[in-house]
């Protein structure tokens, strides 16, 4: 009589192994579901905030006003001999008798909803620079329909702010737009509403979106769903090309050097911030411009050191300004934006706009 008892331990072992494998798989599924649940709970306040922003911007205008700053507010003539030397720089800069500008308010609420640092109280205003409108128009009129674009330039001139302006402009016109400002989520705004997604989650709604990414300490390049699915990807980034060179080459994309702010624009920003923080003073604009000892550093130096009147300028900040800034930046192609921006040039900064294709 044949005995089958020797097969019983083997079957039990196989069953035990299978049971352990199934148990491990079930535990992994449980962990993933728990993680998704936690992410959902963490994202819920962000989703609510994004939905509120969508309700206030889709087909609607964000709170906006107009202002005027006068030359006398920037270039007064009541100083000492040293002051006269400082404010005599007004002849070297183009400062009209008066300068009209538009600005958005309640920007900190917008930043919070986009999962980015809202800034200080005085960061609650966004002055619309002429450069922002020039960049937007150039992107919209791009006959080549370039899909991947880097907007770069000097530190502190408002590249991230340009993305906020572009977002508000597009949502007011009901144009689908996605944004990535942080290292965990991206947001979609379209006719279906607002949606918050994890950076690893692809969403087919991206196919109709311009995807805007702010390159900062936590974000280097656009997330994979942006790169793979979005209609167009725009990255605002510091000029160090190692952050985006390979990506833009692989995408056969373009890069743009953003122009510097004018003295009246900087003074307008200071004037609006003064409403929120009294220590700001538009008349400090030119004194900061010449603090480096070289008026050619001009507007970019002020943008990098936008300090309250009477505040000291740290040596480190001054060195950074000297490293990066010359105001006569024009827009011709270059292999290295940092090298390009460090060149001294007598060429005026009002060159026609162009998209620059990276050399392979």
Over its length of 360 residues, how does the chain's per-residue pLDDT go in tens digits?
555 555 545 567 777 777 777 877 777 776 666 566 666 667 789 999 999 999 999 999 999 999 999 999 987 654 433 444 444 444 556 788 999 999 999 999 999 999 888 888 889 999 999 999 999 999 999 878 899 999 998 887 889 999 999 999 999 999 999 999 988 999 999 999 999 999 999 999 999 999 999 998 889 899 999 999 999 999 999 888 888 889 998 999 998 888 888 889 989 999 999 999 888 888 877 765 554 333 333 444 444 444 333 333 232 333 333 223 323 223 333 445 555 554 433 333 333 334 444 433
179, 187 contact by CB (below 8 A)? yes
What does each C-alpha distance from 24 to 20, 31, 216, 292, 344 come to in angstroms?
A: 6, 10, 39, 64, 64
Torsions phi, psi for 153 (to 5 deg): 150, -170
Distance CA 265, CA 260 (A): 10
Nearest to 114 by CA among 183, 25, 181: 181
> 3-class SS at 188?
strand
75, 93 contact by CB (below 8 A)? no
23, 31 contact by CB (below 8 A)? no
Residue 153 has what pLDDT? Answer: 86
Quickly count: other Cβ atoms within 10 Å of residue 267's Cβ: 28
Residue 83 has what pLDDT? Answer: 47
Residue 288 has what pLDDT? Answer: 59
Residue 294 has what pLDDT? Answer: 37
SS3 content of the chain, % helix, strand, coil (to 5): 45, 15, 40
Token output for 319: 């060195």
Task: Please list, in sequence order, all residues whose beta carbon lies within 8 angstroms of the beta carbon of residue 82, skipping any fewer than 6 positions away.
Answer: none
Whether the CA torsion 173, 163, 128, 122 is positive or negative: it is positive
């Amino acid at each position: 009589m044949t005995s089958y008892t020797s097969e019983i331990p083997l079957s039990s072992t196989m069953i035990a192994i299978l049971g352990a494998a199934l148990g491990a798989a079930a535990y992994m599924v449980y962990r993933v579901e728990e993680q998704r649940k936690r992410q959902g709970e963490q994202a819920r306040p962000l989703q609510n905030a994004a939905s509120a922003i969508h309700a206030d911007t889709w087909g609607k205008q964000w709170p906006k006003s107009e202002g005027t700053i006068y030359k006398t507010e920037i270039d007064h003539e009541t100083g000492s001999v040293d002051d006269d030397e400082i404010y005599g720089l007004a002849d070297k800069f183009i400062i009209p008798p008066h300068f009209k500008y538009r600005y958005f308010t309640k920007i900190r609420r917008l930043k919070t909803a986009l999962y980015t640092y809202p800034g200080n109280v005085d960061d609650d205003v966004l002055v619309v620079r002429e450069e922002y409108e020039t960049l937007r128009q150039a992107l919209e009129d791009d006959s080549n329909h370039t899909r991947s674009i880097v907007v770069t330039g000097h530190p502190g001139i408002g590249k991230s702010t340009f993305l906020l302006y572009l977002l508000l402009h597009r949502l007011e016109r009901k144009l689908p737009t996605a944004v990535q400002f942080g290292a965990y989520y991206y947001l979609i705004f379209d006719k279906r509403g607002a949606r918050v997604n994890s950076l690893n989650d692809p969403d087919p709604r991206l196919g109709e979106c311009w995807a805007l990414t702010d390159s900062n300490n936590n974000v280097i390049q656009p997330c994979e769903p942006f790169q793979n699915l979005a209609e167009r990807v725009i990255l605002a980034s510091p000029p160090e090309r190692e952050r985006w060179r390979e990506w833009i080459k692989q995408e056969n994309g373009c890069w743009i050097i953003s122009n510097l702010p004018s003295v009246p624009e900087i003074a307008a920003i200071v004037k609006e911030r003064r409403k929120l923080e009294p220590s700001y003073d538009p008349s400090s604009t030119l004194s900061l411009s010449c603090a480096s000892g070289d008026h050619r550093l001009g507007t970019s130096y002020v943008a990098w050191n936008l300090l309250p009147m009477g505040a000291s300028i740290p040596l480190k900040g001054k060195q950074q300004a000297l490293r990066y800034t010359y105001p006569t930046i024009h827009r011709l192609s270059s292999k290295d934006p940092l090298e390009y921006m460090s060149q001294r040039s007598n060429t005026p900064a009002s060159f026609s706009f162009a998209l620059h294709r990276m050399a392979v």
